[in-house]
Structure 1
Amino acid sequence: MYASIATALLGASALAAARPSKENKGWGTTTSSTTEYGAMPSSTQSNGWGWGNKGGSSTSSAADAGQSAFSFPLPNGFPNVSASALKDLEIAAQGVPGNGAAPMVSEDAKTSFRFIAFNELFEVAFFTELVNNITSGHYTVPNGQSANVLRALHAVQAQEEIHALGANNLLKANGANPIIPCKYDFPVDKFEDAIALASTFTDVTVGTLQDVQKTLAKDQDPVGTIQLIGSVIGQEGEQNGFYRNLNGKIPSALPFLTTSKREFAFSAINQNFVVRGSCPNIGDIKLPIFAKLDVLNVDPNQQPVNTTFKYAADNDNVYSGNPDDLSLVYINQQTLPIVLPLKMPQQNGNTLSFEADFPGDFPFHMNGLTIAVVAKGKDFKSVDDVAAATLFGPALIEIN
């Protein structure tokens, strides 16, 4: 199998600038095959932490400021939630945050929790808009499932709010500023596409939280933080089983879900959903934003597989090296990175087109989420190695 790929020759710090259209989802491609946070008021503090307490840089992104976009606060005041509003939020979420003392964590753990707050704020925005699109009649839920779907999504929305509040409260307990929400634009316009998108970014979240657990353990952060992240991985997995089932898939995609990196998830959210210039303190999150890699089409039943990628980025970050020094790297399940050469490269301006194998047959079985990046180098033994050398990506491919 082969994938036709187009990518701009851009540096590792390049930032996507083009707003995704409704037609081009930008985030990734879903394919079926038979082989296939905000701060709470200082006056409403308590000593709980969990993923929420009792109480209340330059930026770049896919979307251009000034266009219609989702922005906070929510009707309940989120991300600034009063004590009474938080009680209602816990009822909607069907559970409460942990109430132990917030642990003191390492500097890298602060980076993780800054990313988590950033990610959860994005998810709150997405599910709030999704619920509104259903209740307003803009989205049609098939098969008379509207009431059941809304019941689930209302709970998910509230649970994500508690996740975001808790991550920011842990930061505040460690003397760090909470992450302030951005404005967001979501490039979907019907229910099925919104659910597919939710499934994909939830897959990425589950993979990225594996990375967070690993870094917490490596830095010998309090074991309670690792336990907490594990509980959220389970919660996100429960969500994704629901989304997959809604779109006609079995609830569990794989025996071992695809791993990811904080850098990949942070880049993807910025590239695809965040309105440029709308994040007040995104510079506090010390993670790179890679150049954007879009998947436009994948058909694993067609040989060669025609998979098209494209970039948009700042002109100051053009990659001027030899394309022969680059590799396409696939990350799938818990297997070692699959490193492939770029075949038949053809340059057109700042865009490089090339072909690369898509190993969709045995023994690879590239089911579930596959993360694709273009990295400088040829030999990568781990996902950590791949992230350290990544220039473009991630592109996200879902099969079955």
Structure 2
Amino acid sequence: MRYIRQLLGPALGYLAFALPGKAAPVNHSAPASPPSVSIQFPVGANGPNAPVVFPLSNGFPNIVKGTPAFQQLTVQAHGSVSNAPPPPSFAADDLRSFKVIQIQETFEVYYFTQLLLNITNNVPGFEINDLSLKQDIIEKLTVIQGQEQWHALNAGGVLQHFNVSQIQPCIFKSPATDLTSAIDIAANFTAVVISSLQDVAVRLGQNGDSGVIRGVVSVVGQEGEQQGIYRTLGSDLVPSELPFLTQSTREFAYSSLQQNFIVPGTCPNDNTIDVPIFGTLNVLTTNIQAIDQVLTFSIQRDSTEGLGLVYLNQQNLPIVEAITNASTKNGVTTFSANFPFSQNSMNGLTIAAVVNSTGPFMNANDVANKTLFGPGLIYPN
């Protein structure tokens, strides 16, 4: 946060991201904002001053190859979707993975569209008074917004090729209140995406669809390029957080998306995804530092009997910790668990999960198979 505050000054005030169906709040008593920068990116169907809804003004997610919208997106994103032919067949399990990818990437399109609109329209908390800096940030985020469209369209194209219904956009939301928090949130969900795509690549290999792994890994690298700049801008962190990024699974990524960024009941056909959505694991400890400590969590359950807590960090074996100090009130159980930072060098993203097993666990998939609540996302640095 320190770095972006130095760049943007004291203008990083309060704003709740405008949710679909609500206009962004306007402070009529505030001083006049600096002039807006011209909008050169696809916005929501209802225009640049409305919350983001789909389809976007360029037709996304319904962009057809060879159309002007296709060509314009290629220019915006600095490249296009691959024109290589699809594989002759595709495992049902991998089609399931591509459904998760499509809904995740469609959310990211929403997120960066809303962020660009907030910056461009000088929404309180997102003002950038240096117009040269503002234009530079908008131009870079515009490229990213286009690239996220291609990520979603690529996944949707695979589904369509094999006559599987594409996942339609939901109504999305964000907890970001200003530019600093928006950048930090982008860094965090990008880390989760990178981790879960490892699982997708492994499944592709196991299911005999190895020909698609190259494309998935190219997206992992692209998302890593994004996360590095978000970590640097948002919290002034080292851009590359770990030597080997934390492992995860598509189940954890999809659960996190549903728990944090989707308005419940607004997805037209997410019932076809057929991937578990775990119960929510709330990480109650705030401002977690890179030290040994005891963390506090909560779950919607009357007891923690027979349960344990597992941490995923880097490519190491999952860490099992005992649940202690459990206390239940009104169906919510609060509990504690050790966070053994020093012994395990738990830098970067750590994923916590409440499981119904004592282990041992060999990898993230073993943990997901026994998970009842999760993921709890922890970023000490």
Per the TM superposition, whether the score is higher than 0.5 is yes
Aligned pair partner of 2:114 in 122, 129, 143:
129
1:335 to 316, 319, 330: 316
Rounded Cα–Cα distance in structure 1 between residues aligned with 2:200 and 2:290: 37
CA apart distance, 1:323: 2.1
CA deviation profile, 1:56-115 (whole Å, cap 9, x unmatched): xxxxxxxxxxxx964211111111125111100010000111111111210001001111
- For residues 262-321 of structure 1, the C-alpha deviation after alignment (integer angstroms, 9 at most, x for no partner) is 000000100111111111110111101111122243345598846443446xxxxxx56x
Q: How does 1:170-319 map to 2 (within 5 A)?
A: 170-221=158-209, 223-247=210-234, 248-301=236-289, 305=293, 307-311=295-299
* Cα distance per residue 1:153-177 (max 9 Å; x no partner): 1011000101111111111111111
Aligned partner of 1:383: which letter? A
Return the alpha-carbon distance in structure 2 between the equivalents of residues 122 and 378 of structure 1: 35
Q: 1:392 to 1:141 in 2, by over 3 A?
A: farther
* Aligned-partner Cα distance in 2 for 1:204–1:301: 19
Residue aligning to 1:9: none
- Contact 1:332/1:371 (CA < 8 Å) preserved in 2? yes
- C-alpha displacement of 1:141: 4.3
- TM-score of the pair, normalised by structure 2: 0.81
- CA deviations 1:318-375 (Å, max 9, x no partner) are x56x6231011110111110101101211112111222101111x3111100001111
1:86 and 2:67 correspond: no
Q: TM-score, normalised by structure 1?
A: 0.78
1:96 is aligned, of 80, 85, 102, to 80
Question: CA, structure 1 residues 149+310, in 2 after alignment: closer, same or farther (shift >3 Å)?
Answer: farther
SS at 1:399 equivalent: coil
**Gap regions ≥5 residues in structure 2:** 1-14, 18-49
Q: Is the 8 A contact 2:279 2:299 kept in 1?
A: yes
Deviations 1:110-129 (A, max 9, x none): 00111111111011000100
Q: Look up the equivalent residue of 2:104 and give its one-letter code.
A: N
**Structure 2 Cα separation of the partners of residues 133 and 301 of structure 1:** 31
On the 8 A contact 2:294/2:337 being kept in 1, the answer is no
| Corresponding residue number in structure 2 for 1:316 | none
* 1:376 matched to 2:356: yes
* Residue range with higher mean Cα deviation, 299-308 or 223-232: 299-308
Task: Name the counterpart of 1:345.
Answer: 326
Q: CA-to-partner distance for each residue in 1:156-205, whole Å, 9 max, x for gaps?
A: 10001011111111111111111111011111110010000000000000
Q: Count residues with an aligned counterpart.
A: 327
Give the drift of 1:142: 8.2
Is the alpha carbon distance of 1:310 and 1:132 closer, same or farther for their aligned partners in structure 2, counting shifts above 3 Å?
A: farther
* 1:302–1:243 Cα change, 3 Å: closer
- Per-residue deviation, residues 231-285 of structure 1 (Å, max 9, x unmatched): 0000000011111111211210010001110000000100111111111110111
The residue number in structure 1 matching 2:336 is 355
Shift of the 106–302 alpha-carbon distance from structure 1 to 2, 3 Å rule, reads: closer
Amino acid at match of 1:75: S
Alignment partner for residue 92 of structure 2, among 84, 99, 107? 107
Distance 1:142 1:257, change over 3 A: farther
Separation (CA, whole Å) in 2 of partners of 1:302 and 1:240:
20
DSSP-derived class of the 2:341 partner: coil
The letter of the residue matching 1:118 is I
Distance 1:227 1:303, change over 3 A: closer
Rounded to whole Å, the distance in 1 between the matches of 2:96 and 2:310 is 25
Give, in angstroms, the shift of residue 145 of structure 1. 3.3
Instruction: Indicate the structure whose relative CO is greater, using CA pairs within 8 Å and at least 6 residues apart.
Output: 1
Residue in structure 2 matched with residue 74 of structure 1 by the alignment: 56
Tell whether the 8 Å contact from 1:298 to 1:306 is kept in structure 2 after alignment.
Answer: no
The reply to whether residue 150 of structure 1 matches residue 138 of structure 2 is yes
How big is the alpha-carbon RMSD for the aligned residues of Structure 1 and Structure 2?
2.1
What's the secondary structure of 1:368's corresponding residue?
A: coil
